[in-house]
Amino acid sequence: MPPLVALLLMAHAPSPDAKGLAIAQIVYEAERKPDGACYPLPVKETYVLTPAGLQYGAYFGNMPTNMNHNDSVTWPAGEKGNAVLETARRLANDPALGMKALGEHESTPNMGLDVYRVTVRLHSADSSRVVSDHSTQAWRELDAAFQALIADFERDTGRPMKPEQLSQSAAVPLEPAARATPVAEQALKRAYAAFRAKNKGAPAHDGPWLRGLQPKIEKDVRGTTTVTWTQFAPAGFEFEAVVALPPDGEPKVLKVSASYAAD
């Protein structure tokens, strides 16, 4: 083969990382300030895009404590979601474009707000990367694609909801959830640390586990309240935390597990 032809073929060959690299999930969180229109109250919104679809969670602030503050829905993003994942995959193949690796003990910039947290899977091993610098090509491309996906999601699902649209049939009393949440968060953190110690390829988990999730709350005849959070999925993070709140004692973890499953 002539040298010039060989050089041209090499120039157009895929990068070594291209084959086998996939995007397991992209997480984006935003705190919306009241604007008198779309957001009458402050709302924290979380979007988790996976090959299975877009998971959405919202927590509404400044509401009466006896009312449900949460909204959640899963949207089948389809080809639109796959196109965003492909954009992230392409950007991940060229670190010079601005997608940065996140070290095992490194915190997500800006406390995870207005940042794209990307779980990259290569040869069955997952790693965490972030796109946070607004001046980079990675931010411009991924942000444009993801925000367009959010616009499609909002049009299809009628999100964001107004506070008066939230279902109150499953409203959660604030006190039990508030008492149990810190205990459950610490237990989940320890459980996942133990899981990662045994599964070296498991990615780091950024931020709270329970944000945006509504627990199941039950009270027995002796007055003990049990608060349960569960999240199970065919791929990604899954966990369960059960905390007992006796009427005259400290919260106690009855059951906890946290793990990560690849596709």
pLDDT digits (tens, 9 = 90+) for 27-36: 999 999 999 8
| Per-residue confidence (pLDDT) for residue 63, from 0 to 100 | 81
| Per-residue confidence (pLDDT) for residue 249, from 0 to 100 | 78
Report which of 235, 155, 239 is spatially closest to residue 193, judged by C-alpha positions: 239
Instruction: Supply the DSSP symbol for 33.
Output: P
Query: Cα(first)–Cα(last) distance of the chain, in Å?
Result: 41
Angle between helices 137-157 and 78-92 (to 10 degrees): 170
| Per-residue confidence (pLDDT) for residue 61, from 0 to 100 | 87
Residues of the chain with pLDDT under 50: 1-18, 170-174
Hey, how many other C-beta atoms are within 10 angstroms of the C-beta on 241? 28
| Per-residue confidence (pLDDT) for residue 169, from 0 to 100 | 54
Q: Which two tokens stand for residue 209?
A: 């586990």
Hey, how many other C-beta atoms are within 10 angstroms of the C-beta on 125? 12
| Per-residue confidence (pLDDT) for residue 121, from 0 to 100 | 93
Quote the pTM value.
0.61
| Per-residue confidence (pLDDT) for residue 219, from 0 to 100 | 87
| Per-residue confidence (pLDDT) for residue 65, from 0 to 100 | 66
**Contact predicate 253/243, CB 8 Å:** yes
| Per-residue confidence (pLDDT) for residue 9, from 0 to 100 | 37
| Per-residue confidence (pLDDT) for residue 16, from 0 to 100 | 38
